[in-house]
Amino acid sequence: MATPDRVTQVVGAVISHNGCILAALRQAEADQEAGWEFPGGKIEPGETPQAALTREIREELGVSIAVGELVARATTAIPGAEIDLACYRATALDSLPLASRSHDKLRWVAPKDLGSVAWLAPDRPTVRALMAWGTSSPSLATVVYPEDPWHRVWPKPVPPTP
């Protein structure tokens, strides 16, 4: 494999609602394949990852978020570059995203179904982490962050309304 030209710092949001996680479908571009990803984007010079994620989600999805703990971070080689993707838990504050300016489709995915989605390569380490944590429970309510010495737990999802 050729040596990548650059490392791009990127952030993604793991937004959950009613026990499901938001996935966004990105169409193929000249330098990127089509597939599902966690919404987010590049960190601009001088931005913190949290500030970049807040900005990107507001731009892409039109909603405000509160950024939580780091879920996973990994560097993945793609043609001509390396993507250093850090995905954070995020909570939609004012409303749930209904559409995206940067994606063709949004989809809420149950943790047990994460493996059946055609995720882009940089997002797969986060998917693996979520699947590993979710195997003991169908709910995100019992997901513990193993790297956190205080063992924070994901907030319990709001039960669906009848």
pLDDT tens digit sequence for 81-92: 899 999 999 999
Average pLDDT along the chain: 80
Q: Are strands 81-92 and 7-17 parallel, antiparallel or unpaired?
A: parallel
CA distance 49 to 53: 6
Enter the DSSP assignment of 77: E
Is residue 92 a contact partner of residue 64, using CB atoms and an 8 Å limit?
yes
Q: Could you give the 3-state DSSP secondary structure of residue 142?
A: helix
- Model pLDDT, residue 147: 40
- Model pLDDT, residue 32: 67
* 5 band by pLDDT with thresholds 50, 70 and 90: low
- Model pLDDT, residue 139: 36
pLDDT at 131 over 80: yes
Distances (CA, A) of 69 to 5, 54, 147, 148: 30, 14, 10, 9
**What domains appear along the chain, each with residue ranges and CATH number?**
7-142 (3.90.79.10)
Is residue 97 a contact partner of residue 62, using CB atoms and an 8 Å limit?
yes
pLDDT tens digit sequence for 137-151: 333 433 333 343 333
Q: Which residues pair with 16 in a beta bridge?
A: 21
- Model pLDDT, residue 118: 93
